Structure 1
Amino acid sequence: MKEITVEELQTLKNPAIIDIRSPIEFKDGSIPEAINIPLFTDKEREEIGTIYKHEGQAAAKWRAMEFVSHKIPSLLNQIKEAMSNGEELVIHCWRGGMRSKAVVTFLEFAGIYAMRLTGGYKAYRQYILQQIPAMFPERAVVLHGLTGVGKTEVLKNLKSLGYPILDLEEMAAHRGSIFGTIGLGEGNNQKIFDSLLYKGLSEIKGSAYFVMEAESKRIGKAVQPEELMDRKMKGINIYIHTPIEQRVKQLVNEYVLPYQNEPWYHDQISIGIEKILRRIKDNEMKKALLQTLENKDYQEMIGILLEHYYDPRYDHATLEYDGRFIDVYAEDSNDASMKVMGEIDNLIVKKKEVFEGKI
């Protein structure tokens, strides 16, 4: 049985990584691109743990065998189906214990070659936490702008053209404002965020700079590492300006039109508005927001929130940053993307030393 270390896993071009932990373990944190084919259900895993605690290891192993024995053909078929193009097959569990050893043994009997990840997911997480602090490029280009200017769209446009970007909101599965997780589920926890951050940093390895949004230290359920915060605060700042009419349109297109007919949508917006109402003292504003909520007039609601709630709070945050701000005035996110690329290209061509940390 061949074992592979986490370091060696990083050298494989396109491995088929099979995570055989229970669904609840996988949901709590996983290796990006890994496929969950659980050996035990959540309930089975819980029962085995209880037996182990009260009756000992031998009894727990016997019960595990009872659960697994009839599953083996289906399990192996699922793993075979998950493989394509002859990738190297890597099996892992929580810490490289009996679960992954058993599955690799089953695969060997079936004539399928597989490697077992030494230390399992636990070793992977320890490894990436050690690596992340030293992986950040020297300089950050930080995108600023009021809610709705399309910073996320700018990042995606830049990435499609090969610019080195870190989309932290995507990694956290959380966006700012009351619309935070609409369309993104419940948001990613710290383990998933760290895994996606490591993956993102690996993809821009060797770059002298990276582009990111001006996020708060906490994004939903996740917290940025200190090294990233340091790069952000000392970065090159680009402030995007677009007309408020365009910002409202941007937010309606992004957060309202795709979801407004979903049964959960209005309730989720209501929860967000309730949180905001607890923070404001202006009774007229409260009344206006409640009226838009009752009428389900989300466009009008967004306009009020931008002008009277989010905009006044944003500019104060920019005072925390070192260095000057480069202003970019654009009609929409596509126009902003072109102008941001122009500013970055100008810095690279004329001031390459900026990105090399020389000035």
Structure 2
Amino acid sequence: MKDMTVEELFTIKNPVIIDIRSPIEFKDGAIPGAINVPLFTNEERQVIGTIYKQEGSAIAKWKAMEIVSPKIPELLQTIKKYVSDNTELIIHCWRGGMRSKAVVTFLEFAGIYSWRLVGGYKAYRHYILEQLPIMLPNKSIVLHGLTGVGKTEVLKILKKKGYPILDLEEMAGHRGSIFGTIGLGDGHNQKTFDSLLFKSLQEIKDADYFLVEAESKRIGKAVQTEQLMDKKMQGINVNLNTPIDQRVKHLVAEYVQPYKEEPWYFEKISDGIEKVLRRVKDPDIKKSLIKMLTDRNYPDMIRILLEHYYDPRYDHAKQEYEGEFFEISADHPVDAAYKIASKLNGLGFRPIRELNTNFNLDYFQSRS
């Protein structure tokens, strides 16, 4: 049986990682890119766990063998689909125990050679938590801006141009507003956030700086590390300014138009507004928000939220940052990305990859 450590895993060029834990374990946290081929269903795992606690390991192992035996041919066939000549097959379970050992043995009997990840997902989780604090590049460039200026879009454009980006909202599966997880699913838990942060830091490991959006410490279900927050607070700050009409238009286009006819949309927005109303003291503003929501007048509702709720809160949050602020004014994300890139280049912060850094100026000129 061939064993592989977590450290060795990250040196493999084309790994195919097969996670044989139950679906509920996989959903709780997984190595990015891993494929879930469960040895047991959630229910079967629960049954075996109960027997283990009540009757001991010997009887639990026998029950596990009874459950697994009929599944072996289909299990091996499923895993075989992911095998090719230029890949390395890695099998793991929770802590590299009985489940992964059994599957690697079955595969070997079938002539399919694979590695067992020593320590399993538990070892992977421990490893990335140790590494995260020391992986951060030296300097941060923090993108600020009122809700709706298009900060996330600007970061995505800059990433395509070769700049080192950490997209924290994408990692958290959550947007920092009432729009929360709209279009993003249920949001990611802490384990998934940490794994995606680790993966992103691996991708920019050659950079001595990174660009990141100014987010509060908690984003949805996830919390940023102290080290990351410290880097951000001491970074160089770029404040993006966009007219409010453009901000409303942007938010409607991204968060309203694609989803407003979905049966869940009104309820989800209502939940968000309910949380806002708890913090709004002005009775007239509360009344207006409730009316706009009831009428499904989302553009006017968004404008009120921006002017009377998000904008004042954002101005206060900016005061926590220690570094110098550079002001950038732009109507469109491409325009903003172009101006930010020019500023960064002037400060000596170049792209980490040699890509075409010409920005499509026709994009925003045609929309102005």
Normalised by the length of structure 2, the TM-score is 0.93
Q: CA deviation at 1:125?
A: 0.6
Kindly provide the amino acid, as one letter, of the partner of residue 242 in structure 1.
T
- The answer to whether structure 1 residue 191 and structure 2 residue 169 are counterparts is no
1:87 aligns with 2:87: yes
Counterpart residue type for residue 45 of structure 1: R
Residue range with higher mean Cα deviation, 103-112 or 76-85: 76-85
Say if 1:35 and 1:337 are closer, same or farther in 2 by CA, change over 3 A: same
Q: CA deviation at 1:84?
A: 4.2
User: Structure 1 pair 319/30, CA: closer, same or farther in 2 (3 Å)?
Assistant: same
Structure 2: gaps of 5 or more residues: 351-368
Correspondence list, 1:247-266, <5 A:
247-266=247-266
Q: Aligned in 2, Cα 1:349/1:221: closer, same or farther, shift over 3 Å?
A: closer
* Matched residue SS, 1:131: helix
- Residues in 2 aligned to 1:248 and 1:10: alpha-carbon distance in whole angstroms: 43
Q: Once superposed, which parts of structure 1, at least 4 consecutive aligned residues long, lie more than 4 Å away?
A: none
Letter in 2 for 1:33: G
- One-letter code of the match for 1:226? E
Q: For 2:165, what is the secondary structure of its paired residue?
A: coil
Deviations 1:44-103 (A, max 9, x none): 000000001111111111111111111111111111122345310000000000000000
Amino acid at match of 1:149: V
**8 Å Cα contact 2:14/2:86 also seen in 1:** no
Counterpart amino acid of 1:108?
E
Structure 2 Cα separation of the partners of residues 276 and 3 of structure 1: 52
Amino acid at match of 1:259: Y
Task: Output the amino acid matched with 2:314.
Answer: Y
CA–CA distance in structure 1, aligned partners of residues 266 and 139 of structure 2? 41
Contact 2:20–2:36 (CA under 8 A) maintained in structure 1: yes
Determine the structure 2 residue equivalent to 1:341: 341
CA–CA distance in structure 2, aligned partners of residues 50 and 35 of structure 1: 27
In structure 1, give the amino acid aligned to 2:262: E
Q: Distance in 1 between matches of 2:137 and 2:343?
A: 19
Identity of matched residues, %:
68
Give the structure 2 partner of residue 58 of structure 1: 58
Q: Which one-letter code corresponds to 1:261 in the other structure?
A: E
Q: Give the whole-Å Cα distance in 2 for the aligned partners of 1:68 and 1:95.
A: 19
Q: Note the C-alpha offset of 1:323.
A: 2.2
Other-structure match for 1:205: 205
Match for 1:162: what amino acid? G
CA–CA separation in structure 1 for the residues paired with 2:136 and 2:323: 20
Q: CA RMSD in A?
A: 1.1
The aligned residue for residue 297 of structure 2 is 297
Which runs of 5 or more structure 1 residues have no equivalent in the other structure? 351-359
- Could you say if the C-alpha distance between residues 215 and 6 of structure 1 is closer, same or farther in structure 2, counting changes exceeding 3 Å? same
Q: Match of 1:232?
A: 232
C-alpha distance in 2 between matches for 1:349 and 1:121: 37
Aligned length: 350
Query: What secondary structure does 2:212 align onto?
Result: strand
The code of the aligned residue for 2:318 comes to: T
Give the letter for the 2:83 counterpart.
M
1:119-130 counterparts in 2 under 5 A? 119-130=119-130
Secondary structure of 1:348's aligned partner: coil
